[in-house]
Every structure is written in structure tokens, then in C-alpha cells.
Amino acid sequence: MREATLPPPRSHGRLVSRLVLLAAACFAFGFALVPLYDTLCRVVGFNGKTLKDAIAAGDVAPGGLDASRKLGVQFTTTLMPGLPWEIRPLEPSIELHPGELRTTRFLVRNLSDKPIVGQAVPSVSPTVAAKHFKKLDCFCFTQQTLAPGESREMALTFIVDREIGPEISELTLAYAFFPAPTPPSGSTQ
Amino acid sequence: MNTATHALDHHDGHGHQPTGLMRWLTTTNHKDIGTMYLTFSLLMFFVGGAMILAVRAELFQPGLQLMKPEFFNQLIGVHALVMIFAALMPAATGFANWMIPLMIGAPDMALPRLNNWGFWLLPPAAMLLTMPFILAIFGIGDGAVDTGWTLYAPLSVQGGIGVDFAIFSIHILGISSIMGSINIIATILNMRAPGMTLMKMPLFCWGWLVTAVLLIITLPVLAGGVTMLLTDRHFGTHFFDAAGGGDPILFQHLFWFFGHPEVYILLLPVWGLMPHVLSTFSRKPIYGHTAQVYGFIAIGVLGLIVWAHHFMTAGLPVPALLYFMYSTMAISLPLAVLFFCWIATMWRGAMSFETPMLFAIGFIVLFGIAGLTGLVLADVAADAQYHHSYFVVAHFHYALFAGGIMGVMTGVYYWLPKWTGHMYSERLGKLHFWLTVISFNFTFMPQFFLGLAGMPRRIPDYALQFAEFNAISTVGAFVLGLSQLLFAWNVWRCVRGGQRASDKVWEGTSGLEWELSSPPPHHSWDVQPVIK
């Protein structure tokens, strides 16, 4: 048995500042997840997110269309609360070949007596098909303003590329229509 | 373990110790702060319990009898937040404050002033969380947060002022927990007695070390997530707003990146104290000390990478589902190591069944059910049926009531004589145990069947075929809730007086904490013991 004398008071400064730094880094990591997650979703197609921007006309269909396969594509629409619109696909379902360029139209109508700005958000299922669903032109790329009572046909031009897996024969493109987020205060109509 | 305990003729308080309320407001003593954490935790345990008894009363029969659905939604969400952040976490921090310096031979915690601050952030945070209930009575706002404790966007983006109160409350609770964790890590790494290597350190300290690291890694991510929620609600950002290019599923990722490790944050301190109790009342050394240390670390690491199993039905791609299924199931391996070590510690021991041992064995059996039903939930195919059903509710109450709260009660009964210097009433303690364990199963076992039959969670009304099981569950819940008053009374009596406890308290104890007097002196180890 031996007795230790009270050790000199030890400075905890280094350890504590490292731990505080770790906590701060983890807080930053939470925010870094926002762009990371978005990128990951678009690259891998998680959540059925499609590529944000139009692809160039030249990249449309490398290798042309694959006439040996047929794909069923269905279009559905959902109105989110607060958007007094009517909306439906003019062709609820179509058949096409992988690599085939197609245009389809959606009918929208503003049922209210006010001009309203809406935004369509696409989602593809099964989610693994999302990255193969490529849009050349889409009304979802921009916000849409409809005058009171106005009706409009909106076009979507797309291909489903040839790389889509053989296990997929049907896919669904769902559009959720949101009232456009109000711009941050400061900007005027 | 040979230790040198020297006569401790310390000079208490250095002559100017404040008394009364000021003592508690200004204290930097780890035992006082530990006592405050535990008292606060017990108080909030009853607050959260009263809320859920109101919920169970509403669910006694189908139909809406007692409250509006909006109020029901507020009660379930605040019940969870109170129980997790204001009852279980402070109880574990209270244990850490009381026991870690005693166990590692330190005079106090490393950062005593931070410790005081960490505690005194809790009462304002709890008030923020519950204040909207009171404000609503005066017509301000529409009540407390009503999204459930998970605060999922976009519901929480649209919610009333209760959500803002909950966000600020989580910020403050988070800061408090991170300060507590930094303090615990600094104490453990810098202030162990000479000769106490990390591998010789008691398992309770190891459990808390892993907990503290998990807290520092995950709580800031939750804080970031709820901050984004706040700016989405008030400052025009679109982190979780799909129309603005955001993604509501991102919130689920941010939330559960914290939320899953949180389960282990609540349980690791309990897993740490369990071997001490089992070893004491089996009169055998702890079996597999090293294996349990690696078990804690493995569960801590795995716990960080399995979060998405909480929302497997949200539309994740199949490869991701498979990954989260297998990684979740992998956690059962280190957890099984812990279970085997606990059982092996009791194996062929000279066991006796005092209250802490009863709670420890009850914990092992019931927490085992939580683990096994968790494996079922981890199965992607099965989860599609069980998700958001009462099966999940039953599962996590087996984990967090039988695992968490009964674990905390194990620790309270085990250490209470050391803290107060008095023995609690063994008769009352045993009565409390049997009432708790029987009524607990009456409350939650029927919920497994309700979930299997398809009853969704978080609803104030339900289909007629669920009536019988819900009635049983409600009766069980009221017995369970009222039995806890016995616990409070037993603790109160023990604090006030009773049969003197010896320094060693229990026959089979070992460890530094049992070499100090009961109750321990004001400065725990003025002279550090040497461990050979």
C-alpha cells in the first residue's frame, strides 16, 4: 500500500477545446448533409429524384432507341393543400421504347379568381428508374403563373434511356403541385 | 485491487458554504449536482407519466371521450420529449455525476462550474417545452408541439408556436447534454486514480464514456436539423420544402442520425451499471469485463450507421433497405455478447435477491424481449406491416421503460444507501418491483397484439376490434403509474433516515466507491487512491 500525493491540478483546456471543436464540426456536418444528400439523391436516384436540369439535345439517345423493349410509363398528379388548381395528364399512360424521345402534355386550370404561382415537383418510381428518366424540357423546371380562370397545356419532353435495367417494365412519374413558396421578404411582386 | 485510503480530515466548504437555496444554485460539488439531476429526473418522470395516463384514459374505450384529437397529439409528443430528454437523460447524467468521481478515485468532476451550468439549463428547457400548454389556457397559441417527438417535416413546418418552443427547448437541452458529456470525458480521461488504466476502469464509466462520445457526435446534427426547421418556418428557407427544392425526407435522415444513437445514449449507462449489480448479488467478479468494453464500443459505432431503419417505408431504394436491415441486425451480435456476459456473471453465483438484483433480472428478461422484437422490426419485409403500428410502441417501451427506466431504478436502489447513508425499505422496494414488472407487462404486452392486428400508433380513436386489448393496457398503465409513487416514497423515506448503511453496503461489492464512507465526504477523494 502506497499513498499518492494529490496530483497538481491538471489543465483540461486542450481536451475540452478539442471536444468543443468536435461538437462544432458535427453541427457543420448536419448542414453539409443538405447538399451532400441532394447530390446523392440525384446521382443514385434515391427518393425518385430526377436530374434537376434539362439534358442537351445532343445527349438525347446515345445508340438510338431500343426497339426490342417496351416500357409502360404512367403519369399521376397530386395537388398539395393551398393550390386551387385542377390538373390532369392528357395521356395517363403511354408505351414507349427505351431511348425514344416523347412529348406528353398536362392540362392545368386555375379555379380561383386570383393569379397563382405553382411549382411542380417530379418523382419517379421505382426509384432506381429515376436516373434513367431524362427530361429535355419540362414545365417543372420553372414556376408557372396562371391568371384567374386560365387553362393551359404544359409540355414535358423526355426519354427513358437505354441503360434502364431489364427488370423494369413499368414506371410512374408523379407530379406534386405546390403553391410556389413566397419569395423572402424584400422582393416585391 | 489494493487501494490506499487515507484519513480524510478535509475542511468542508472552506468556511463560506452558502446554505438553503443558494447552496443548490451555486453548487459545484458533483454530489449536489448529481442529486439535483436525479431529483429533476424523478419530477419530470411523474410529469411525463401524468401526460401518458391522460392519453391511456382516452384510449380506454373507442371514441373520443376526454379530449380533442389536437390535445391528444400534443400529449403524446411532449410525453416522449419529456421522458427522453428530461427524465431518462438527466437520470443517467445524475448517476455519472455521483458515481464517476467515486469510482475512478477523483476528488470531483473535471469542470465543476460547467457542471452547475449544465444542470441549471434543464429547468428552463423543460419549462419552454411545457409552457405552450399553459399559454393555450390564456388563449395564446394553440398548445404544445403536436407533431409527435420526431417533429417530421412538413407537418412541423406548418405547426403552431408549440413547435418553436420545442425547437428552442431542444437547443437548450442539447447544449446542456453536450456540456455534461465534455465534462464526463474530461473527468474520465484526465482524473483517474494512478494505476487505473482504461481497461481496468469500471464498466459504468466505460458505458458513460461511449455515451458521451455519441452525444457529442449526434446531438449537434439534431440541433442543425431543428435549426433548419426553424429557418424553414420563419426565414423563408426551403430545406424541407419540396416546392422550393428541398426534401422532407432529409429531415428524417437528420433526425434519426441523432435519434437512433439516442437509444444507445439512453441505454449504455444502464448496461454499464448492470454488471456491477449482477456481480454484487451473485458474489462473483464481473464476467467478461474486456468483452463488455468492446461490446459497448461496437454498439456505439454500429449505432451511428443504422439510422434509416426508422423509416424503411419512406421510399428508400432496395439496396439501401438491405444495407440498413443487415447493419441493424448486426447490432444484435455485440448486444448478445453483453447478454451472455450478464448471464455468465450470475452463473453458479451465490445469488441473493435484494431489490436492485430483482430489477436487474427483470431488466435482462424484459430488455431481451425488446431486443428480439427489434430484430423482427429490422426485417424490411416484416417492417412494412409493423411500421407505425402499436407493435413499434410496445417494442420501444420494452427497450426504454424495461431497459432504460427499470435500469435506472436498479441503479437507484443499488446506490441509494451509498448516497444517503441509510438503507431503503426492502419490503417496499420488492413490492414496487413486483407491481412494476407485472403492470408493465399488462400495459405493453397487449400492444404487441394490437400492432399485429393493425392498430396504428398516434391516434386518439380506434376501431372496435381493438377495444379489449386497449382496456387491459390502460388498466395496466394506471397500476404502473401509481406504483411509481411507492418508489418516490421509498426514496424520500431513505433520504430522511432509516437503518444505517455500512461503507460497503452490500456483502459482495468491490470497487473504489465502496471504500468511502456512506454517505461519502464532501470532497470524494482528497487523496487519490493508487491502484496496483
- Looking at the fold, whether A38 and A56 belong to one and the same domain comes out as no
Least confident of A48-52, B62-66, B117-121, B196-200: A48-52
Which of A12, A30, A48 lies closest to B111 in CB terms?
A12
Do A109 and A142 belong together in one domain? yes
* A21/A83 same-domain check: no
Residue B241 has phi, psi (to 5 degrees) of: -105, 110
Sorted by where each begins, the domain ranges of chain B are: 32-514
Binary contact (A19, B182; C-beta < 8 A): yes
Output the pLDDT for position A121.
Answer: 87
Question: Strand ranges (DSSP E) for B296-436?
Answer: none
Q: Is B193 within 8 Å of chain A by CB?
A: yes
Residues B269-282 pLDDT 10s? 999 999 999 999 99
Mean pLDDT of B460-467: 95
**A33 and A65: one domain?**
no
Position A100 pLDDT exceeds 90: no
**Chain B nearest-CA residue for A143:** B243
- Asked if B238 has any chain A CB less than 8 Å from its own CB, the reply is yes
- CA dist list (Å): B94 to B13, B34, B44, B177, B306: 22, 4, 14, 12, 28
Question: Which pLDDT does position A109 carry in this prediction?
Answer: 92
Contact A50, A133 (CB under 8 A): yes
pLDDT band at B316 (very low <50, low <70, confident <90, very high): confident
* Spatial CA neighbour of B415 closest among B292, B296, B270, B209: B270
Q: What is the pLDDT of residue A188?
A: 37
pLDDT at B9: 39
Share of chain B above pLDDT 70, in %: 97
Residue A160 domain-assigned (yes or no): yes
Instruction: Output the pLDDT for position B8.
Output: 40
DSSP 8-class letter at B101: H
Nearest CA in chain A to B257: A30
Task: Quickly state the pLDDT bin for A162 (edges 50, 70, 90).
Answer: confident
Question: What residues of A are in contact with residue B529 (Cβ under 8 Å)?
Answer: 4
Please indicate, yes or no, whether residues A62 and A37 belong to a single structural domain of this protein: no
The yes-or-no verdict on residue B522 having pLDDT over 90 is no
Residue B370 binned pLDDT confidence (cut-offs 50, 70, 90): very high
Listed residue (B237, B99, B225, B119) closest to B520, CA to CA: B99
Q: Do B242 and A7 touch (CB under 8 A)?
A: no
Residues of A in contact with B217 (CB under 8 A): 22, 26
B1 pLDDT higher than 80: no
Set of chain A residues whose Cβ sits within 8 Å of the Cβ of B244: 119, 181
CB-CB under 8 Å, A30 with B221: yes
- Counting the structural domains of chain A, the total is 2
A 52-91 residues with CB below 8 A of B? Answer: 80
A40 and A52 together in one domain: no
Give the pLDDT band (50/70/90) at residue B376.
Answer: very high
**Hey, is the C-beta of A189 within 8 angstroms of any chain B C-beta?**
no
State how far the Cα of B98 lies from the Cα of B205, in Å rounded to an integer: 11
Band (A114; pLDDT cuts 50, 70, 90): confident
Distance from CA of B298 to the nearest CA of A (A): 20
Q: A144: pLDDT confidence band, cut at 50, 70 and 90? A: confident
CATH number at residue A153: 2.60.370.10
Q: Which long-range contacts (CB under 8 A, 24 or more apart) does B411-415 make?
A: B411/B95, B411/B270, B411/B273, B411/B277, B411/B356, B412/B38, B412/B487, B412/B491, B413/B354, B413/B355, B413/B356, B413/B359, B414/B273, B414/B276, B414/B277, B414/B280, B414/B356, B414/B506, B415/B95, B415/B98, B415/B99
Of B182, B249, B530, which is closest to A20 when you measure between CB atoms? B182
pLDDT at position B444 is: 97
Taking every pair of Cα atoms in chain B, the longest distance, rounded to a whole number of angstroms, is 71
Together in a domain, A32 and A83? no
User: Does residue B338 surpass a pLDDT of 50?
Assistant: yes
Q: Work out the mean pLDDT of chain B and round it to a whole number.
A: 93
Output DSSP code: residue A94.
E
User: Would you say residue A7 lies in a domain?
Assistant: no
Mean pLDDT of A48-68: 67
Residues A145 and A98 in one domain: yes
Give residue-wise pLDDT tens across range B209-258. Answer: 999 999 999 999 999 999 999 999 999 888 998 877 788 899 999 999 99
pLDDT bucket at A186, cuts 50 / 70 / 90? very low
Q: Which residues of B touch A180 (CB under 8 A)?
A: 243
pLDDT tens sequence across B379-425: 999 999 999 999 999 999 999 999 999 999 999 999 999 999 999 99
Judge: A19–B218 Cβ closer than 8 Å, yes or no.
no
Q: Note whether A14 contacts B: Cβ–Cβ < 8 A.
A: no
Q: Quote ipTM for the complex.
A: 0.87
Instruction: Answer for the pair B31, B39: CB distance below 8 angstroms, yes or no.
Output: no
Q: pLDDT digits over B3-38, tens only?
A: 444 434 344 444 567 788 888 899 999 999 999 999
Q: Is B239 on the interface with A (CB under 8 A)?
A: yes
Task: Tell me what the mean pLDDT of segment A127-137 comes to.
Answer: 83
Residues 133-172 of A with CB under 8 A from B: none
Answer for the pair A94, A71: CB distance below 8 angstroms, yes or no. no
B111 shares contact with chain A (CB less than 8 Å): yes
pLDDT given at position A75:
93
Residue (of B411, B423, B303) closest to B356 by Cα position: B411
Which of the residue ranges B4-13, B158-167, B514-523 would you say has the lowest mean pLDDT?
B4-13
pLDDT value at position A129? 84
SS3 B241: coil
Residues of B in contact with A121 (CB under 8 A): 242-243
8 Å CB contact between A147 and A136: no
Residue A57 has pLDDT above 70, yes or no: no
Q: Cis peptide leading into B269, omega within 30 of 0?
A: no
Q: Is B243 within 8 Å of A22 when comparing Cβ atoms?
A: no
| Mean pLDDT score of chain A | 82
A126: closest chain B residue by CA:
B317
- Do A37 and A97 share a structural domain? no
pLDDT confidence of residue B6: 41
As a whole-number percent, the residues of chain B with pLDDT over 90 amount to 86
Residue numbers of the domain that contains A172: 48-179
Mutate to test the interface with A, among B217, B234, B247 (most CBs of A within 10 A): B247
Three-class SS of residue A25? helix
Would residue A162 count as lying in a domain?
A: yes
Q: Is A74 in the same domain as A126?
A: yes
Give, in words, the CATH class of B32-514: mainly alpha
**A57 and A39 co-located in one domain:** no
User: Does residue A89 belong to any structural domain of this protein?
Assistant: yes
B526 touches A: beta carbon within 8 Å: yes
Q: Which residues contact A24 (CB under 8 A, 6 or more apart)?
A: B220
Of B193, B225, B528, Cβ closest to residue A30: B225
C-alpha cell at B303: 449505432
Q: Is the minimum CB–CB distance between B217 and chain A shorter than 8 Å?
A: yes
